[in-house]
Structure 1
């Protein structure tokens, strides 16, 4: 069955309206539907997974430096491993591991601390030598490396397959997936959202969940809520099919430059975060950025520098000021929930965050304390200081 339908009009009422049909929105829809919430409408202005979730391969990992992100990543990794059974779809999960390449002692010292934190939380990451790194990934040149970090249980999967797996299961449970439907306004009364307006009609609702990715700031503005999310273009490229085929390698990252590469079908995928990329919604693929990648590759993985690429893809990161997500319930509007601003980590955290959104709606205690990720953490001290009382 198709997990997506184009509606002449949206249902006039819903218990929950989810704005955004990417991986975060459909994860929330699945987890809510699984918990017995039947009156769910997911509003998506294009097709499902047409935004950042449409990227060809998504990394999945629990290798982070702080316990909260480790917990979100680790719980999601377990959900992805179980995805063929719940909700029931092949997402082409390939547990090749993640390999971070470190080029100075400061990086190595920081990662040693992170590895201890990860190990304490059940993540089997470990520091390895440059020679170990080359054994794991034969493309790596060890010159200039001081150490590397490997976590064998990480890997990558296909975000589009995840989106449709969650969406199909949510639809089977009764959720409505209103694609090609644009949110045009949000009505509030007192401390509540009352209605979501779309170009296919209005929906009176009990709860709104904003999972609109890079567009979440605009949705927040409609409700009078500040969601400090900015769009930044990220680009990747694919090599031509390789002969002989590429060895099965970890998701390999040169930490200093952010350049990364890994298997993709019968070739490799290259990526790099251009530090000079201006903010904006432009998703034009411009192959000039590959010069930056090739310059790094000449040092770190020389064989890659001369490989022929055959096209690529550009999408948007949804970035917050501290590069951590916004997850929570609005302080101003008690029935407005949000999960956005994942700064490149949304796909790998989506299963866990779907659980959290379910629990927030049902007023249950989530599995972990997400208060550090509240959107109000960016307010200035002056704005949050209590008013002085005149005696």
Structure 2
């Protein structure tokens, strides 16, 4: 584990200050340092990876409905497959596949069109019948199912290990990681960033990169940059150890309800996005939330409905109005870059986004055109088709 770096004072100056020590900030720091960028400071208000990146298991997939998100997911998935070699950490990647359960002809038609696009971009997804979905995941009831979508290349791994892997490699390359350090202000001179104020001192700098997740709107406000990101609580639960052990199943999602479940150590992890959850920074886990999942499970996966749970967890999604990310360089502040608002997709896109932000900083052409993800799209009336709000 990377030892905690609690600073009485932060470095007096830096070329780059990255705000946020989650998976996005760690990925950006690693990619910049690997490219030879020196004098980087990562500022994190708590411990590394304890914000939205702190979820116990993170899904990784390339099943999306538009080319840009497919490309970000596919490139990141390849990076996660190579993670033991670069940067050199076992992240417990388990390629079990993603299985979307579809209970309406409209959803099936939409997914069929998405799979045609995915296949054209090299993603091995396919439509399958309800009985094949049940063979892949024996917990599933086929009652009311129309079809399912499955990609065997997808899966899940451990976000904490990813954050540590990137951060350790970045630290070895000379990156300073200041944990338990909160940003309190940003100094601007004309159209340039000149400094960042923290609870442990001021850092003179020439570039700020906002990777602050659910807290990004406040960071943007300090710099006069509109980053329309809102925090939304998401909750999950763990079953008691199961005997006999559960079968190895795909990351399974009931698309119409957003309920999902998959293996987790010697039991299962259960989750669902509460459609009535209000915005806010509350991360209190409320066991009553489980009844929403159980109500869905009684129909879609009956054996799960009465399973004993032993613990739970609540974290924050960083949500934008169209549920797509904000990635780019500010038009108002030349040296303010941002990568935030991933709406539940940040972990699975972090490796690719690290590359993109590296190239934006170095003024190189990224591997793909990310202009549709500019934060000013909402002012231009150019919102992207909303991605499904699932894990």
Give the TM-score taking structure 1 as reference length: 0.97
Distance 2:256 2:28 in 1: 35
State the shift of 1:3 in Å: 4.9
Q: Per-residue deviation at 1:87? A: 0.2
Aligned position for 1:186 = 186
The aligned residue for residue 108 of structure 1 is: 108
Match of 1:313 in 2: 313
Match of 2:170 in 1: 170
1:213 matched to which residue of 2? 213
Query: Residue 203 of structure 1 aligns with which residue?
Result: 203
Deviations 1:104-133 (A, max 9, x none): 100000000000000000000000000000
Partners of 2:54 and 2:163 in 1: how far apart? 9
Unaligned ranges ≥5, structure 1: 382-391
What residue is the counterpart of 1:250 in the other structure?
250
Contact 1:3/1:167 (CA < 8 Å) preserved in 2?
Answer: no
1:120 corresponding residue in structure 2? 120
**CA displacement at 1:7 relative to structure 2:** 1.4
In structure 2, distance between residues paired with 1:256 and 1:267: 24
In 2, Cα distance between equivalents of 1:335 and 1:356: 15
Unaligned runs of 5+ in 2: 382-391
* Pair 1:353-2:363 in alignment: no
Q: CA RMSD in A?
A: 0.8
Output the CA distance in 2 between the equivalents of 1:285 and 1:200: 31
Pairs within 5 Å for 1:52-201? 52-201=52-201
Deviation at 1:2, TM superposition (A): 2.5
Distance 1:183 1:8 in 2: 14
2:376 is the counterpart of 1:376: yes
Structure 2 Cα separation of the partners of residues 380 and 120 of structure 1: 30
- The separation in 2 between residues aligned to 1:375 and 1:241, in whole angstroms, is 44
Give 1:34's aligned residue.
Answer: 34
Secondary structure of residue in 1 paired with 2:376: helix
Contact 2:2-2:167 within 8 A present in 1 as well:
no
Residue 232 in structure 1 maps to residue 232 in structure 2: yes
- Match in the other structure for 1:389: none
Q: Is the 8 A contact 1:24 1:339 kept in 2?
A: yes
Rounded to whole Å, the distance in 2 between the matches of 1:265 and 1:334 is 46
Spell out structure 1 runs of 4+ moving beyond 2 A. 1-4
